[in-house]
Structure 1
């Protein structure tokens, strides 16, 4: 089968052995239809691929072609959304544990379902913020992940204020009547108006940039005992005086939810008890599918560019060289 890898800071298509579910009763074999390029994560992997080969991708969807003996919720021919490396990559076939897929209803556009991994990450970030109905959330950085968080937060009736330097990204959310700004001054004015100068309940930092000035600035935007949630690739460098003065909470959102990087949950496909861990990464994936099934959020703007598998390396080059302003692209597997 064909798979996409990063090697010596370039993207290549290689031939590899097809995965098998033999001896894996709680796995399914999936023929990939679409996978999603996650620019932030995958371009970072490209940068560290000198003298090594790294598998790219973590969000995809496809058709079930074989089921292990313990699988009862899907059958051959069903469509599923899948999330999480090393089980989900830009590969023609995927061997996925039952804890990392969600069945896709017939009424859902398969291309929308392919965004499930990103959707789970966005949902988990909001859960980490632990907000209540009506609270004010500021989302900084409107790449595909920030956009998804803003849309889901808006659907949940939080008071959403969004910011990005790029006017085009701001305009994408303005079309949905979400308060969005490309000027810090305008955003700060909106925060003061919306909260009677008390400050936002939480700021979610979805931008990249390691030593970002946002880690200092965002503490000015939250209320006393407010929250700063790191979602993007930012070093947690916060000034003590502002943290202390507001008794602010610093939170980290890691991937798609409980279960991520746990070999028992993922590799052994043993789910956490529903009554003790309500929202695992798998259940967050299911929730994303529900949101698009019920049209609670519109993700069509993210699936406007489809590239064929053979053209994928060139598309990665365009993203790396900043020749593309697209937030993400879908890879189509025939």
Structure 2
């Protein structure tokens, strides 16, 4: 069987390769054929840059997939040929995988192009899980890419009034389509002034940073109210020099806000349900399925491109150099 893969050959070089699948499937595995795979812009561009030590080149990236099972191993009893599943699959036409981890049947009636967004939504949901967001709170979310947009939507579902911030008008327009009440262009407006106006001078209760840009997180400390919190949703990357004493004082001193700093990396929770832990990736995924089914979580405006996998090189070029127009990219297999 011939397989097609999207390969990061070297920094900023993407190729489509053909690879013969000669390996025999093991008894506990299934063979899936991809329907859609989704690009995670932040993580995959970081890998493509060559700056992520855990990703080895040449390598096949991939983050989220909806696939059809085409063969099952002799020990697999919960799945059958023809089942459509969501899993953390790579950008390839076929893939041998186990049913361990996040591997779930897609609910009947859930539109397949929406399914890969489950991964991005569960990443965003981590920020809500670790936060103290309550009904009536004011929340800012810096960065209105896919994950930031979903974090903003989920904060609103938690009962908060949400302010979305970004430098791109296109992303802010998308945020409005997704129901975000306040949208602020941080390039043409002063974020602190606008937020203080919205909050009547009190600041936000929770600031979620989805950009991963250290300066953005530090700047947001200025608009967090007393006893508020900052949630680091985007993985901080790059070098940024500042006075760390002032940063620490914002947490320590009352007059500086007594702000709590919290990390929200998705892997802080176990994959499978655990007796001693309330949340898990599987539980979060099934909750997101329901939100997508009843359209409480809106994703269609986030889909900027559905393109054949053969055009992957131009897609990554667009994601790198035309970020305002390339946001949610699905590869069709």
TM range (shorter): 0.7 to 0.9
| 2:212–2:234 Cα contact (<8 Å) kept | yes
Within 5 A, what are the aligned runs for 1:7-156? 7-9=9-11, 10-16=13-19, 18=21, 21-24=25-28, 27-48=29-50, 52-68=57-73, 73-83=78-88, 88-94=89-95, 95-156=97-158
Q: Which deviates more from structure 2 when the two are superposed, residues 307-316 or residues 72-81?
A: 72-81
- Structure 1: how far apart are the matches of 2:286 and 2:302? 19
Within 5 A, what are the aligned runs for 1:1-334? 1-9=3-11, 10-16=13-19, 18=21, 21-24=25-28, 27-48=29-50, 52-68=57-73, 73-83=78-88, 88-94=89-95, 95-175=97-177, 176-183=179-186, 185=189, 187-209=191-213, 212-234=214-236, 239-245=247-253, 246-255=257-266, 258-259=269-270, 271-273=272-274, 275-322=275-322, 325-333=325-333
Structure 1 unaligned blocks of 5 or more? 260-264, 266-270
3-state SS of the aligned residue for 1:232? coil
How big is the shift at 1:52?
2.7
- Taking structure 1 as reference, are residues 130 and 29 closer, same or farther at Cα in structure 2, changes over 3 Å only? farther
- Structure 1: how far apart are the matches of 2:31 and 2:166? 40
| 1:101–1:285 Cα contact (<8 Å) kept | no
How big is the shift at 1:188?
3.0
Deviations 1:200-228, CA, capped at 9 Å, x for gaps: 1211111143xx32232211211222111
Deviations 1:159-215, CA, capped at 9 Å, x for gaps: 211111111211212232521110475643453355443321211111143xx3223
Structure 2 unaligned blocks of 5 or more? none
- Structure 2: how far apart are the matches of 1:323 and 1:192? 29
How big is the shift at 1:256?
5.4
Match of 1:268 in 2: none
How many residue pairs were aligned? 314
How big is the shift at 1:137?
1.4
- Structure 1: how far apart are the matches of 2:323 and 2:141? 25
| 1:45–1:54 Cα contact (<8 Å) kept | no
- Taking structure 1 as reference, are residues 296 and 196 closer, same or farther at Cα in structure 2, changes over 3 Å only? same
TM norm structure 1: 0.84
- Structure 2: how far apart are the matches of 1:51 and 1:57? 13
How big is the shift at 1:232?
1.6
Q: Which deviates more from structure 2 when the two are superposed, residues 15-24 or residues 295-304?
A: 15-24
- Structure 1: how far apart are the matches of 2:203 and 2:299? 30
| 1:30–1:96 Cα contact (<8 Å) kept | no
- Taking structure 1 as reference, are residues 166 and 321 closer, same or farther at Cα in structure 2, changes over 3 Å only? closer
| 2:37–2:332 Cα contact (<8 Å) kept | yes
How big is the shift at 1:42?
0.9
